[in-house]
């Protein structure tokens, strides 16, 4: 135990003095991550706000043929511009994005309406442009509403209750709370936390293994009368300590950044009080030994500092894989998925964000599986150090 502590203290101290380790562990993740997140959120919130308030511009060909429809549209915030375009010209204008939406009123629109036959209007849009898809929905539903109003008037004129043509009505009830909506937007937090945490321990893992070998200091170290397993455990512990510092810092700075981000425009709220942050740290921390063990394992196999750096850069993506797969498949927390390290941390982070609590058994399962896997990997690394090939 004492020797593990000696190794731990030296690795920790030495890396505290290393500028590269320090910047990545204490600066890169904890500062850049939350800044990115809150910046992005603010951008999303602003866009949402702008879109709601913005008038919807529609170019109309032959506006004079349907004055009532147009004044109805204007009443709902549509900005009508009268243009003179042939069919092909209208199509081209939308294709070349000169116009976003072009509404064309045919010559016989008024006549068909008067004859109580379906009167078509033509709406040119570009389905490849997602932004216009929203505008399209808005214009389409406004025109449909206008048609329904006319239909109701026609029925009334015939002495029929308009309600008979509405046998079923769908009323959506949104049960999401501002806090739960935050979860969907803040799903990125898991990536940032995972990444910052791994980054925090990365350089120490490299320095303590591949770096030690490259400097030639591994050989003298192995001539001291201590068990090689203890050397490994001391190093992994130091890596864990840096990861934990990185995790605590990242979550704290995120909490701080988000409490200074105006999000009400996007209809979401984030409650990042200290107890939520503590809860997040407690549920994410069990992943640390596994992450530290894996990084040390990979770095031990490589022949040089540079090689270790490129391998670990790739390896860092591995813990984010379950998150990506889960979001594609739409996986939800369950007894089975809570047994997957990193994914279970993601679920717990999200639950904490939404203000929900997962069953205690699931949380214990997550922590237990992570810690067991972590100890197993650490044991493998200690076996690796018994081999002579470790000297390179």
Helix (H) / strand (E) element for 170: namely: none
By beta-carbon proximity to other proteins, the closer residue of 16 and 89 is 16
Rounded to a whole number of angstroms, the minimum distance from the CB of residue 240 to other proteins is 20
Using CB under 8 A, which residues numbered 18 to 47 contact other proteins?
18
Binding residue for other proteins, selected from 52, 173, 224, 260, defined by CB under 8 A: 224
Query: DSSP labels for 294-338?
Result: HHHHHHHHSSSHHHHHHHHHHHTTGGGHHHHHHHHHT----TTGG
Q: Give yes or no for residue 171 binding other proteins (CB under 8 A).
A: no
Q: What is the CA radius of gyration of the chain?
A: 31
By beta-carbon proximity to other proteins, the closer residue of 227 and 324 is 227
Nearest to 252 by CA among 221, 283, 275: 275
x-or-dash string of contact with other proteins, 126-165, rule CB under 8 A:
----------------------------------------
Q: What is the dihedral of CA 6, 7, 9, 10, to 10 degrees?
A: 110
Rounded to a whole number of angstroms, the minimum distance from the CB of residue 188 to other proteins is 35
Binding residue for other proteins, selected from 98, 140, 176, 217, defined by CB under 8 A: 217
Binding residue for other proteins, selected from 50, 219, 264, 356, defined by CB under 8 A: 219
Q: Give yes or no for residue 225 binding other proteins (CB under 8 A).
A: yes
Binding residue for other proteins, selected from 221, 317, 318, 324, defined by CB under 8 A: 221
By beta-carbon proximity to other proteins, the closer residue of 131 and 219 is 219
By beta-carbon proximity to other proteins, the closer residue of 225 and 274 is 225
Q: Return the range that interacts with other proteins (CB under 8 A); candidates 53-61, 101-109, 154-162, 209-217.
A: 209-217
**CB contact at 8 A, 31 and 257:** no
Rounded to a whole number of angstroms, the minimum distance from the CB of residue 215 to other proteins is 6
Q: Give yes or no for residue 222 binding other proteins (CB under 8 A).
A: yes
Rounded to a whole number of angstroms, the minimum distance from the CB of residue 310 to other proteins is 22
- Where b means 16+ CB within 10 Å and e means fewer, 125-164 reads bbeeeeebeebbebbeebbeebeeeeebeeeeeeeeeeee
By beta-carbon proximity to other proteins, the closer residue of 15 and 284 is 15
Question: Residue 83 forms beta bridges with which residues?
Answer: 61
Binding residue for other proteins, selected from 158, 223, 328, 329, defined by CB under 8 A: 223
Q: Give yes or no for residue 306 binding other proteins (CB under 8 A).
A: no
Joined tokens for residue 298: 């990979």
Mark out the alpha helices in 61-108 (DSSP H runs).
67-75, 87-95
Size of the site for other proteins (CB under 8 A): 25
Question: Cα(101)–Cα(141) distance, rounded to whole angstroms?
Answer: 14
Place of tokens 């932004």: 131
Q: Return the range that interacts with other proteins (CB under 8 A); candidates 64-72, 216-224, 239-247, 340-348.
A: 216-224
Q: Give yes or no for residue 15 binding other proteins (CB under 8 A).
A: yes
Joined tokens for residue 135: 């505008």
Helix axes 228-259, 2-16, angle to 10 degrees: 50
**DSSP, res 23:** I
- Where b means 16+ CB within 10 Å and e means fewer, 66-90 reads beebbebbeeeebebeebebeeeeb
By beta-carbon proximity to other proteins, the closer residue of 18 and 132 is 18
Q: Return the range that interacts with other proteins (CB under 8 A); candidates 9-17, 69-77, 139-147, 292-300.
A: 9-17
Q: Give yes or no for residue 392 binding other proteins (CB under 8 A).
A: no
Q: Give yes or no for residue 391 binding other proteins (CB under 8 A).
A: yes
Binding residue for other proteins, selected from 226, 229, 276, 365, defined by CB under 8 A: 226
Question: Cα(309)–Cα(314) distance, rounded to whole angstroms?
Answer: 9
Question: Residue 79 forms beta bridges with which residues?
Answer: 57
Q: Give yes or no for residue 388 binding other proteins (CB under 8 A).
A: yes
Residues that bind other proteins (CB under 8 A): 2-3, 6-7, 10, 13-15, 17-18, 215-227, 388, 391
């Amino acid at each position: 135990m004492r020797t593990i502590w000696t190794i731990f203290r030296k690795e920790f101290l030495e890396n505290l003095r290393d500028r590269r380790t320090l910047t990545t562990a204490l600066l890169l993740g904890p500062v850049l991550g939350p800044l990115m997140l809150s910046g992005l959120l603010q951008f999303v919130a602003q866009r949402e706000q702008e879109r709601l308030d913005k008038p919807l511009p529609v170019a109309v060909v032959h506006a004079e043929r349907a004055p009532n429809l147009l004044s109805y549209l204007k009443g709902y915030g549509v900005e009508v511009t009268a243009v003179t375009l042939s069919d092909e010209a209208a199509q081209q204008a939308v294709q070349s994005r000169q116009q976003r939406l072009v509404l064309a009123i045919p010559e016989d629109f008024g006549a068909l309406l008067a004859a109580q036959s379906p009167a078509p209007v033509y709406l040119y849009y570009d389905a490849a442009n997602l932004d216009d898809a929203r505008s399209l929905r808005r214009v389409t539903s406004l025109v449909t509403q206008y048609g329904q109003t006319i239909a109701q008037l026609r029925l009334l004129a015939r002495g029929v209750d308009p309600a008979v043509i509405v046998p079923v009505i769908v009323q959506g009830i949104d049960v999401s709370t501002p806090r739960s909506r935050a979860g969907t937007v803040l799903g990125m937090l898991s990536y940032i936390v995972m990444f910052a945490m791994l980054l925090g321990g990365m350089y120490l893992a490299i320095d303590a293994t591949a770096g030690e070998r490259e400097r030639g200091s591994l050989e003298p170290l192995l001539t001291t009368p201590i068990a090689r397993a203890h050397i490994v455990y001391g190093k992994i512990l130091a890596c864990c300590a840096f990861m934990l510092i990185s995790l605590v810092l990242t979550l704290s700075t995120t909490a701080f950044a988000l409490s200074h981000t105006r999000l009400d425009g996007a209809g979401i709220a984030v409650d990042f009080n200290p107890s939520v942050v503590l809860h997040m740290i407690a549920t994410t921390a069990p992943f640390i030994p596994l992450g530290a063990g894996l990084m040390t394992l990979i770095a031990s196999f490589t022949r040089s500092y540079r090689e270790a750096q490129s391998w670990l850069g790739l390896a860092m993506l591995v813990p984010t894989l379950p998150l990506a797969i889960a979001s594609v498949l739409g996986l939800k927390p369950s007894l089975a998925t809570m047994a997957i390290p990193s994914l279970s941390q993601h679920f717990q982070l999200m639950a904490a964000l939404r203000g929900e609590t997962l069953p205690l058994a699931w949380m214990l399962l997550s922590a237990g599986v992570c810690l067991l896997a972590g100890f197993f990997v650490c044991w493998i690394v200690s076996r690796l150090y018994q081999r002579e090939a470790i000297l390179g």
